[in-house]
């Protein structure tokens, strides 16, 4: 971050709070299973029930959109101080000057993996929160979802280094017992 006659310029930063590799691989595997089935569905189109004629194109659309959207999931901080945050199918665009604080909390899970929580606290008092651990918190069989929504310690360290210059950003790393390990 540098100041040039009152204008602040920032380093361009790209951050991701999920494990994109696993997510794209799982969507790709799903696509490999669905493509042969799609061939059969369209081959026997006249014989399948109306319910499947409606459901199948919707399922394929969700899979293709998921494959396209997953690599875009993350946060981009531009040189002008604009933040583009794409947590899921939403796009949040805001300016660093409009923020009072940006809080990022990493919670330690099993096997030295971390989930993240991102909070934008605006100057006017509004708060936006995206908690990635909610994706698997209430699931019975949550191992697969945890693979997608947890990141490694190495990636947490990279994110901390990239956001070190940003003075509106507060980063906290919590261990399994919810005790603070690191805070900036």
**Residue 148 burial (C-beta neighbours within 10 Å; 0-12, 13-18, 19+):** buried
Is 119 a residue whose pLDDT tops 90?
yes
Count other C-beta atoms under 10 Å from residue 94's C-beta. Answer: 16
CB 159 within 8 A of CB 90: no
Average pLDDT over residues 149-172: 90
* pLDDT at position 106 over 90: yes
Judge whether residue 51 has pLDDT over 90.
Answer: yes
Residue in 118, 182, 176 with CA at minimum distance from that of residue 149 = 118
pTM: 0.82
pLDDT > 90: percent of the chain: 32
Give the per-residue pLDDT at 1.
Answer: 52
Section 83-112 average pLDDT? 88
Q: Which residues contact 17 (CB under 8 A, 6 or more apart)?
A: 73, 74, 75, 87, 116, 118, 132, 151, 159
pLDDT band at 7 (very low <50, low <70, confident <90, very high): low
* Cross-strand bridge partners of residue 152: 113
Q: What is the pLDDT of residue 178?
A: 85
What is the architecture of the domain spanning 2-18+73-183? Answer: Roll (2.30)
Confidence of residue 8 (pLDDT cuts 50, 70, 90): low
Structure confidence at residue 20 as a pLDDT band (50, 70, 90): confident
What band does 104 get if pLDDT is binned at 50, 70 and 90?
A: very high
Specify the pLDDT at position 127: 93
Location of structure tokens 């698997």: 136
Q: How far is CA 100 from CA 21, 121, 161, 167, in A?
A: 33, 6, 21, 10
Is the alpha carbon torsion for 160, 77, 92, 139 positive or negative? negative
pLDDT attached to residue 121: 93
Residue 4 reports pLDDT greater than 60: no
């Amino acid at each position: 971050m540098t100041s040039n006659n009152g204008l602040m310029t920032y380093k361009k930063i790209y951050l991701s709070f999920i494990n994109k590799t696993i997510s794209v691989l799982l969507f790709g595997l799903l696509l490999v299973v669905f493509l042969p089935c799609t061939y059969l569905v369209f081959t026997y189109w006249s014989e399948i029930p109306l319910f499947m004629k409606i459901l199948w194109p919707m399922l394929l659309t969700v899979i293709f959109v998921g494959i396209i959207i997953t690599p875009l999931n993350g946060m981009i901080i531009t040189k002008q101080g604009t933040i583009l945050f794409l947590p899921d199918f939403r796009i949040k665009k805001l300016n660093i000057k409009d923020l009072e604080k940006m809080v990022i909390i990493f919670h330690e899970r099993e096997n030295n993996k971390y989930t993240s929580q991102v909070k934008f606290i605006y100057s006017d008092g509004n708060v936006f929160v995206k908690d990635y651990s909610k994706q698997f918190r209430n699931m019975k069989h949550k191992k697969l979802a945890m693979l997608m929504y947890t990141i490694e310690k190495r990636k947490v360290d990279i994110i901390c280094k990239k956001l070190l210059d940003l003075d509106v950003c507060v980063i906290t790393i919590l261990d399994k017992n919810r005790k603070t390990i690191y805070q900036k």
